[in-house]
Amino acid sequence: MIDFDSSVLVFSTDKGRITPEKESPSVPQGDGIVRLKRETKGRKGKGVSTVNGLLVDNSELKKIAKELKKICGCGGAVKDGIIEIQGDQRDVIKVFLEKKGFEVKLAGG
């Protein structure tokens, strides 16, 4: 008699490649200080303001990014837990985040 382990999925046509699900933390770890940078690297000279260190979950991060884009009147995105806002908007972003209760530092150039 052959004994099969039913907990291991061997083949499925339902979802493509089978990889174990990774548990991602809902809230990132950090020191609680939000850092604002102006970056141009890899953007063909175009500058963006990046917001690092927000200790909130992904849905709240997207809400904050949406509010920042509206206040600054420009585009932006959320990539890998970092908010990117087009242009040098660090002063406007700093005032907004401080009103929200975050500790903000200007970092980089």
pLDDT tens for residues 28-64? Answer: 567 778 999 998 887 787 889 999 988 888 899 999 9
pLDDT at 78: 93
User: Taking 90 as the threshold, does the pLDDT of residue 93 lie above it?
Assistant: yes
CATH number at residue 59: 3.30.780.10
Boundaries of domain holding 99: 33-106
Angstrom distances, CA of residue 5 to CA of 8, 9, 13, 16, 50: 6, 9, 19, 21, 49
Q: Is residue 25 part of a domain?
A: no
Looking at every residue in the chain, the average pLDDT score rounds to 82
On whether residue 50 sits in a domain, the answer given is: yes
How far apart (Å, rounded) are the C-alpha atoms in residues 37 and 89? 10
Say which residue, 93 or 29, is predicted with more confidence: 93
**pLDDT range class, residue 17, cuts 50, 70, 90:** low
Residue 20, pLDDT score: 66
* Lowest mean pLDDT across 1-5, 17-21, 86-90: 1-5
